[in-house]
Amino acid sequence: MNVHQPVTVAEPIPALASIAPEQAAVEAMVRFEQIAKTYPAYRDKPGVQALQEIDFAIPRGSITGVIGRSGAGKSSLVRLINGLEKPSAGRVVVDGRDISALSGRKLRLAQRSIGMIFQHFNLLSSRTAAHNVALPLEIAGWSKADIASRVSELLELVGIADKYDRYPSELSGGQKQRVGIARALATRPSVLLSDEATSALDPQTTRSILDLLANINRELGVTIVLITHEMSVVRQLAKEVVVIDAGYIVERGHVADIFTHPKHPITQSFLAEVLGDRVPVSLASRIEPQPIQGGQAVIRVQLRGTSAGDTILARLARELGIDIALLSARVDEIGGRHVGSLTLGIPGDDGRTRQVLSWLSQHQLFAERLGHVA
Amino acid sequence: MSRDLINLILEATGESLFMVSVAASLATLLGLPIGIFLATSRKGELFAAPSVNTVLGVIVNATRSTPFIILVVAIIPFTRLIAGTSIGSGAAIVPLTIAATPFIARLVEAAIREVDGGLIETASSFGASPLQIVFKVLIPEALPGLVLALTLAVVSLLGYSAMVGAVGGGGLGDLGIRYGYQRFMPEMMLAVVVVLIALVQTVQTAGDYLARRVNRRLRHR
């Protein structure tokens, strides 16, 4: 073997070598590194610690939901990604670039690869739908011809090509948000930030906008970061969820895991809202603590992703030979698992109810007795 | 009314229109950028320069609180420097411009501040420079307000222009004082007032119409 033959394998590829120290960053679209954000005291307002110890990555091509109550720090978090806010400590790396270190012209160039949509759409009332979409392209210095063809393409993509010449005052909320989405995608960004984008919309319109965002993620491969205070939005769209409270990340992981095994009380309270863990008021008002002659015991069964969820009622009725009444139920499928709660009425005496409860616990289902109804 | 008197009125109207239109144009050229700066230079804003903002604000307020007739005589040396004379319609343009500029600046500031701050954030989010934000967002969005502000400024200038007769400025106000008041010709006074009312009405109607035309917040069709 000729020793002088060039060894191609050992030759490092320059581009790869230069990013080698950042290898972990290659997979991550956005990486928060030990972020803290403090707003200094101003006049009579005290300083605010908006974010602390934020350290996590958002995978490339993912849809990540950031959920928290108002004032939890989620707006600050998302504004760190596009450089509208600077961290007080730590750095934010977007697509391998430390955006928190950029300013002026360099920052403005980087911002073109990060789109953002807003709760109140923030369209210019003086521009038509098409001209609103054109704005980021004008700012980026595109030619008139390129802008015209890109704008048509984008309005087509978001399904409002017929609204080209309409002013925002002539559009519905859903249509305005579609214009907002088209505008955010105009410069072909790799990240799309959504700041409560569906909070001002009715449920049906919300659904259609979330479907559109899912399509965009699938077809264009755009990484989507959505901040919201609604768990239903996270459930419908996101794969990853970050729960934030008082400036700290309190819980984070796959949506299905968080929904089935919420640990933090904040997460549990968000889940209660979507899963309807509360017993309907009309039923709750009829529940008595003491057994009622000829009545039913009321028990509530929590479904937390157990596979038994779908057939539980049938099996329970068959195996124990009881006519179970379904008083109320809220079940959703999240990540292929059943999550929700069932409120059941069990006829017969106390022994019957205990039999049911022990059967349920044998099947890894958490159940509790709420009382009795006539 | 004799033909001579009608000619006098026509001539004075021409002088008034000349003074007001030139002064309004110059004051807009100066007041617009000052107003935009005032609206965008507080702490944390687009062109944040809080101390310059404060100083400019004080100068604007000082000019605005000086009674116009005092301003006219106080700046006579400056007027002579700029116009070469302190008498006549041409010279009157100097104090008119100086009085109208801070007025327009404040009106422009108010109109620009009306623009939703979310729009500035939005434009920043896709990498617009501060100047791009001014020209592509703030001015177009504030346009209806700006048109109304300029209308108001022109109407006020018509009033001010009547006062420059005191320094030989000419125009309708001067005519009204000299003929109507000093020569006891009430019909002349009446004619001057009627012409002024007609001018103000025309300017206001045109301004309102234009503001409505550029306001896309209203539904059209």
**Per-residue pLDDT tens for A139-162?**
999 999 999 999 999 999 999 999
Which of B116, B127, B141 lies closest to A112 in CB terms?
B127
On chain A, the residues whose CB falls within 8 A of the CB of B119 are 122, 124
- Name the residue facing A118 among B43, B122, B219 (closest C-beta): B122
Answer whether residue A338 shows pLDDT above 90: no
Query: Which chain A residues are closer than 8 Å to B116 by Cβ?
Result: 122
Per-residue pLDDT, B27: 96
Kindly determine whether residue A125 and residue B217, on different chains, have CB atoms separated by under 8 Å: yes
Residue A13 has pLDDT above 50, yes or no: no
8 Å CB contact between B164 and B94: no
Please judge whether A112 and B217 are an interchain contact, meaning their C-beta atoms are less than 8 angstroms apart.
no
- B122 touching A, CB under 8 A? yes
Q: Under an 8 A CB cutoff, do B143 and A126 touch? A: yes
Mean pLDDT, residues A217-246: 91
Chain A 167-186, residues with CB within 8 Å of chain B CB atoms: 167-170, 183-184, 186
Of A109, A122, A184, the CB nearest to B119: A122
Paired with A67 in beta bridges are A228, A243
Distance, CA of A256 to CA of A338 (rounded, Å): 10
Q: Does domain A8-113+189-274 have CATH number 3.40.50.300?
A: yes
| pLDDT score of A24 | 44
Measured between beta carbons, which residues in chain B are less than 8 angstroms from residue A135? 123, 126, 136
Q: pTM of the entire structure?
A: 0.81
Q: Per-residue confidence at A307, pLDDT binned at 50, 70, 90?
A: low
Give percent of chain A with pLDDT exceeding 70.
89
pLDDT of residue A272: 77
B143 — contact with chain A (CB < 8 Å)?
Answer: yes
Q: Could you tell me how many CB contacts below 8 A there are between chain A and chain B? A: 76
Q: Is B87 part of the contact surface with chain A (CB cutoff 8 Å)?
A: no
pLDDT in tens, A271-305: 877 766 667 778 888 888 888 888 888 888 887 76
pLDDT score for B216? 81
Residue of chain B minimizing CA distance to A137: B126
**Contact yes or no for B126 and A138 at CB 8 A:** no
Specify the pLDDT at position A308: 52
CA–CA gap between residue A190 and residue A216 (Å, rounded)? 11
Whether the predicted pLDDT of A3 surpasses 50: no
Cβ-defined contact of A116 to B143 (cutoff 8 Å): no
Name the residue with higher pLDDT: A196 or A235.
Answer: A196
Contacts of B43 in chain A (CB under 8 A): 42
The ipTM assigned to this model is: 0.86
pLDDT in tens, chain B (221 residues): 688 888 989 999 999 999 999 999 999 999 999 999 999 999 888 999 999 999 999 999 999 999 998 998 899 899 999 988 888 888 899 999 999 999 999 999 999 999 999 999 999 999 999 999 999 999 999 999 999 999 999 999 998 888 887 677 788 888 888 888 888 888 888 999 999 999 999 999 999 999 999 888 765 54
Note the pLDDT of residue A313: 81
Rounded Cα distance, B213 and A3, in Å: 82
Residues 6 or more apart in contact with residue A175 via CB below 8 angstroms: A129, A160, A163, A166
Report, as an integer, the average pLDDT of A83-92. 92
Check CB contact under 8 Å for A167 and B129.
no
pLDDT at A21 over 70: no
Task: Locate the chain B residue with the closest alpha carbon to A184.
Answer: B126
Residue predicted with more confidence, A260 or A367: A367
Phi, psi of A255 (to 5 degrees): -55, -45
CB burial of B14-45 (b: ≥16 within 10 Å; e: otherwise) equals ebbbbbbebbbebbbebbbebbbbbbbbbeeb
- Other beta carbons within 10 angstroms of residue B57's beta carbon come to 17
B128 touching A (Cβ < 8 Å): yes
- Asked whether residue A212 carries a pLDDT value surpassing 70, the answer given is yes
Query: Residue ranges of the domains in chain A?
Result: 8-113+189-274, 281-373
CA angle (B66 as vertex; B60, B68 as ends), nearest 5: 110
Task: Please determine, for residue A25, whether its predicted confidence score (pLDDT) is greater than 60.
Answer: no
User: Percentage of chain A surpassing pLDDT 90?
Assistant: 47
For residue B220, the chain A residues in CB contact (below 8 A) are: 167, 170
The answer to whether residue A18 scores a pLDDT higher than 70 is no
Q: Give yes or no for B121 touching A (CB within 8 A).
A: yes
pLDDT, position A22: 47
Looking at A265-334, list the stretches that DSSP marks H as alpha helix, in order from N- to C-terminal side: 265-275, 281-284, 312-320
Q: Which CATH architecture has domain A281-373?
A: 2-Layer Sandwich (3.30)
Using the Cβ of A112 and the Cβ atoms of chain B, whether some distance falls under 8 Å is answered with yes
